[in-house]
Amino acid sequence: MSAFNLRVNGQSHTVDVDAGTPLLYVLSDDLALRGPKFGCGLGQCGSCTVIVNGQAVRSCITSVDSVSGSEITTIESLGSPEKPHAIQKAFIDEQAMQCGFCVNGVIMTAKAFLDSNPRATDEQIRQAMANVLCRCGAHTRMMTAIRKYAQAVKP
Amino acid sequence: MKNIPRRDFLKGAGILVVGFSSWRVAELGAQAPGFNGTGSNALDSWLAVAADGSVTVYTGKCELGQGLYTAQAQLIAEELCVPLERVKLIQCDTALTPDQGTTSGAQSHPTNFNQANLAQACSTAREALVQLAAARLTVTADALVAKDGVISVKSNASQKISYGELIGGRKFNVALNTSAKRKPANEWTILGKPIPRLDIPAMATGQFEYVHNVRVPGMLHGQVVRPPAIGASVMSIDESSIKALPGVVKVVVKKNFVGVVAEKPWQAIQAANKLKVEWTPGVGLPNQTGFHDFMRNQKQTRDTFQVNSQDVGAKLASALKIVKATYHYPYQMHGSFASSCAVADVQTSSATIWSATQAVFPLRSSAAMVLGLRAQDIHVIFKMGSACYGCNAADTVSYDAALLSQAVGKPVRVQLTRKDEMISENYGYAFVLDQKAAIDLEGTIVAWDHEAWSPVYGNRPGANQPGNVLTGLLAGFEPAAFAPRSPAPNPTNFANNSNATPSYFKGGTGTIASVRVLTHNIHSPFFTGPLRSPERLQNTFAHESFMDEIATALAADPVALRLKHLADPRLIDVVKAAAKAANWETRPSPRSGNRRTGIASGRGLSCVLYEGDNGYCAMVAEVDVNQDTGVVIVRRLVIAEDCGPISNPDGLRNQLEGGALQGISRALLEEVTWDSSKVTSIDWRTYKPLFLGAEIPKIETVLLNRPDVRAAGAGETAVTVTPAAIANAIFDATGARVREVPFTPERVKAALALR
């Protein structure tokens, strides 16, 4: 095991884990965060997405040593049930989920994309969500919520 | 929604609840838990009122993503006349809640929203509170009104008393009153309204606690090592192969169950990957190519007539016109979004299991068998996982965690890998379905013959068959025995629970008297189990596609032909409502004038009365078919639904939309694949689902609210009708009939080539 310094949601943490441990395990098991989730462990579904230096990153296939020192943002830091972030509020307003397990990946992927591509077209948004999965079939509501957020960030 | 530990909650609210487990043990001893459990006749086992007026309610039907937590909270608030925010709902906990069996089969509304169980408990409590108030205020009960947890005198609102003052912290000590009156739907202010889901804000902000987030002090992490081939057995294990790895605590072997326990999850995964296990080669699998013929040719079958009017053969033999077709359906996965997870803390003579199981009481009993403990010494606590859509790996992983915890004497958490999830679940049934119909001179269907073959093996474990799922089998328990039976006995009474009988049968919802419905179950090489709309989707795909094939043979409009052969006014109403909302053009299929190359558009309809008595649904699908590539894109879906009184219109719409999109995924993409020894669908590249960025249709829902009939289920109706609606739309667009799910580009192109 080795010690790694991580900056997560503006706070510094030192964790002692095996080098090569994926970031997701550190976030969920060492830091006990509930936002980033294990869906496939293969980078195929998006469930584990966090934002690292402004980019959506799949933390289940990102080793912890590769993000040491980077600014890592998880969904918990966006907003709270009482004061949700604009994109979280759009999902709440649209009731855009069923079991809710995938919604971390959906929100974090869409937010990272739209924040850096505020003029994105509908087609580009669709492309950005091409590798994000929902199994309950909340697709239409989720895309509506994402478009709402897209309107909000449009310059 | 915040999950408050029971003990803290009791402290805060000053509730006194004792003696739960003792009566339940006695009750369980007398009767094994069934599909809907033993329930309870004691009001105090359903709810308790605290001194501060808050109400804690115990339900045996849980949230699985279908919105049931919120709908039940609405029901409680409505019937009890308390504000929604004063309701605290405890779901599925063997130490606390009534045994309501399994949350499945679209049964939660029929069970808890009609005149029994949860709804009856709430109306009993309201009437009991009014009686108590009448005594305290020295007026008659009919002079009182209950509102917001306060009972007041109608003619003098200042004369009042709160629920907390009446009963706070004390027991009712009354039985459920079967004559307690429900509030009429026209007085509802909470139930029936589109109340936003109470759990969604926590989900959207990463605060919701799923079973995956359960952390217990001293908890270790386990991983399983599954056989590399179906039916493979352990020959030898080389524990030294992982000796040098960090954090490894123990290798656990019980017959063919193999797992490792480590200090950290990543360490457990590494150890499971590197553990050297020699396995026997397994039993071998039939070729996937030709599997449908393999099913049809099985000699050992279990045959069941659902209907047999005895005259179908004669009618077919003498008919002027006969229509025939065969439909094929693949094995499909639940493919839960998250791989299943459970935490177990097994001590010498007791155990606690945190599980996303749909069935806490049955799991308690079956886990007792796996662990060699007494059921009453096991505490199963439901914690939500990702949605299951039926028998996913939630029970199996609960056994995994329990076995590993028992072996190390410490709490163990197991979260399956994606591959282990996909090879550990009980797949939805493959099917071959032959349909034949006889038609008279007037274009009336006079006989319908349905003969189907479907493989089964294992099932939900229930209370006493842990071998029905993979870990139980590996640990040495037998699955339910396959009992061949041929010929099928003649049916005694008609129930269309599996929708094996088409809607057009006179004894059900239609007009055709001569019907034969024969199903042959065969032994499946894979575990099977209920997957959202089990059998009903497959049967409905065949019936509703076939109805359009008959319409084509008669050059009739598919909606008109259905209406001619339907008798149930509620089924007729949803068909008409969907057709109307979709601006259905009355004409035969295929659409005339469509070009035979490039993109062609068409529409199709499908309908069902789910389970023969549990929710009416009709759907119109509009599709574009690229006739050069075979790619099908669903552009629009219109769904009409009648599930009786609507508890939450937005929740219902969400379920219908979700069912429809899952239906598209299953109709166009999903199919379990295998080679000569093992399943090869092991991730989201080898089992293709509908991703978020796919071309998704506009979905419109038409809700037919019927406040005066029984509440029915709605979670499985839309998915049931989707594949046939799409197949019929493909035919309308192109004149090509697809009879095998999924409608991949290759299959669509093959059908196009046959035009």
Domain boundaries, chain B: 6-193, 216-281+334-424, 431-753
H helix or E strand, kind and range, residue B368:
helix B360-371
In terms of DSSP bridges, do strands A71-73 and A2-8 run parallel, antiparallel, or are they unpaired?
A: parallel
Q: How large a percentage of chain B has pLDDT more than 90?
A: 95
The ipTM, to two decimals, is 0.99
Beta carbons within 10 angstroms of residue B442's beta carbon = 8
Topology classification of domain B6-193: Aldehyde Oxidoreductase; domain 4 (3.30.365)
| Neighbouring residues of B620: CB distance < 8 A, sequence distance ≥ 6 | B578, B579, B581, B582, B584, B603, B604, B605, B636, B637, B638, B725
CA nearest B108: which of B145, B69, B79? B69
Q: How far A143 CA lies from chain B's nearest CA (Å)?
A: 8
pLDDT, residue B705, reads 98
Q: Are A32 and B206 in contact (CB < 8 Å)?
A: no
Q: What is the pTM of this model?
A: 0.95
CB B693 within 8 A of CB A126: yes
A23: Cβ contacts below 8 Å, ≥ 6 apart? A50, A57, A59, A60, A62, A63, A64, A67, A72
Looking at the predicted structure, is the pLDDT value of residue B402 above 70?
A: yes
Q: Are B83 and B149 in contact (CB under 8 A)?
A: yes
- The C-alpha atoms of residue B100 and residue B120 are separated, in whole angstroms, by 14
Q: Is residue B17 scored above 50 in pLDDT? A: no
Model confidence at B26, in pLDDT bands (50, 70, 90)?
very low
Q: What is the DSSP string of B372-435?
A: T--GGGEEEEE---S--SBS-SHHHHHHHHHHHHHHHTS-EEEE--HHHHHHHS-BBPPEEEEE
Share of chain B above pLDDT 70, in %: 95
The pair of structure tokens assigned to B588 is 């035969």
Residues of A in contact with B689 (CB under 8 A): 133, 135
- A86-153: CATH topology: DNA polymerase; domain 1 (1.10.150)
- pLDDT per position as a tens digit, B46-98: 999 999 999 999 999 999 999 999 999 999 999 999 999 999 999 999 999 99
Cβ-based contacts under 8 A for chains A and B: 195
CATH of B216-281+334-424, one of 3.30.70.20, 3.30.365.10, 2.30.40.10, 1.10.260.40: 3.30.365.10
Cβ distance B692 to A91 less than 8 Å, yes or no, reads no
Instruction: Categorize the per-residue pLDDT at B2 as very low, low, confident or very high, splitting at 50, 70 and 90.
Output: very low
Q: Which of A17, A74, A88 sits opposite B204 (nearest CB)?
A: A88
Cβ separation A33–B203 shorter than 8 A: no
Tokens (6 digits) for B300: 């050992």
DSSP string, A22-50: BHHHIIIIIS--SSS--S-SSSSS-TTEE
Q: Chain B 465-524, CB below 8 Å of chain A: which residues?
A: none
Taking CA–CA distances from B652, the nearest residue in chain A reads A98
Distance between first and last Cα of chain A: 47
Flag whether pLDDT at B301 surpasses 50.
yes
B693 in reach of chain A (CB within 8 A):
yes
Structure tokens at A118: 């505020």
B84: nearest Cα among B245, B161, B198: B198
Residue type, A127: Q
Rounded mean pLDDT of B465-482? 97
Test B684 with A44 for CB contact under 8 angstroms: yes
Does the structure show a pLDDT above 70 at B1? Answer: no
Task: Reply yes or no on whether the pLDDT at B19 is more than 80.
Answer: no
Q: Which of A85, A95, A129, A132 to mutate to probe the B interface, most B CBs <10 Å?
A: A95
Query: pLDDT digits over B200-258, tens only?
Result: 999 999 999 999 999 999 999 999 999 999 999 999 999 999 999 999 999 999 999 99
User: Among B207, B208, B684, whose Cβ lies nearest the Cβ of A133?
Assistant: B684
Give the distance from residue A155's alpha carbon to the nearest chain B alpha carbon, in angstroms.
24
Give the model confidence (pLDDT) of B609-640 as tens digits: 999 999 999 999 999 999 999 999 999 999 99
Average pLDDT score over residue span B720-735: 98
Confirm if B79 and B686 have CB atoms less than 8 A apart.
Answer: no
Is pLDDT at B32 greater than 60 in this prediction? no
Using the 8-state DSSP alphabet, how is residue B516 labeled?
E
Q: In whole angstroms, what is the distance from residue B624 CA to residue B605 CA? A: 15
CATH topology of domain B431-753: Aldehyde Oxidoreductase; domain 4 (3.30.365)
Whether residue B261 has pLDDT greater than 50: yes
Chain A residue numbers with beta carbons less than 8 Å from the beta carbon of B655 are: 98
Residue of A135, A141, A148 to mutate, interface with B, max B Cβ within 10 Å: A135
Residue B547 has pLDDT above 70, yes or no: yes
At residue B37, the pLDDT reads 86
DSSP assignment of B110-161 equals: HHHSSSSHHHHHHHHHHHHHHHHHHHHHTS-GGGEEEETTEEEETTEEEEEE
Rounded to the nearest 10°, the torsion over CA B725, B308, B105, B351 is: -140
Q: How far is B239 from chain A (nearest CA, A)?
A: 21
Q: What is the pLDDT of residue A19?
A: 84
Per-residue pLDDT averaged across B316-328, rounded? Answer: 97
How high does pLDDT run on average in chain B? 94
- Residue ranges covered by each domain of chain A: 2-77, 86-153
Burial of residue A130 (number of CB atoms within 10 Å: 0-12, 13-18, 19+): exposed
pLDDT digits (tens, 9 = 90+) for B278-289: 999 999 999 999
CB atoms within 10 A of CB B676: 11
Find all residues with CB under 8 Å of B239, minimum gap 6, and list them: B251, B275
The SS3 call for residue A103 is helix
Amino acid B24: pLDDT: 28
Distance from CA of B417 to the nearest CA of A (A): 7
pLDDT (average), residues B663-692: 98
Chain A CB contacts of B670 under 8 Å are none
Q: Do B210 and A95 touch (CB under 8 A)?
A: no
**Predicted pLDDT at B16:** 34
The pLDDT assigned to B14 comes to 35
Give the residue ranges of DSSP H helices in B476-557: 536-553
B106, B715 in Cβ contact below 8 A?
yes
Q: How confident is the model at residue B12 (pLDDT cuts 50, 70, 90)?
A: very low
* Mean pLDDT in residue range B163-188: 96
Q: Residue type for B650, please?
A: D
Average pLDDT per block of 10 residues along chain A, 155 residues long: 93 92 96 98 98 96 94 98 98 98 98 97 97 98 98 94
Options 3.10.20.30, 1.10.3720.10, 1.10.1740.10, 3.50.50.60; CATH of A2-77: 3.10.20.30
Q: Is the pLDDT confidence value at B9 over 60? A: no
Q: What is the pLDDT of residue B31?
A: 33
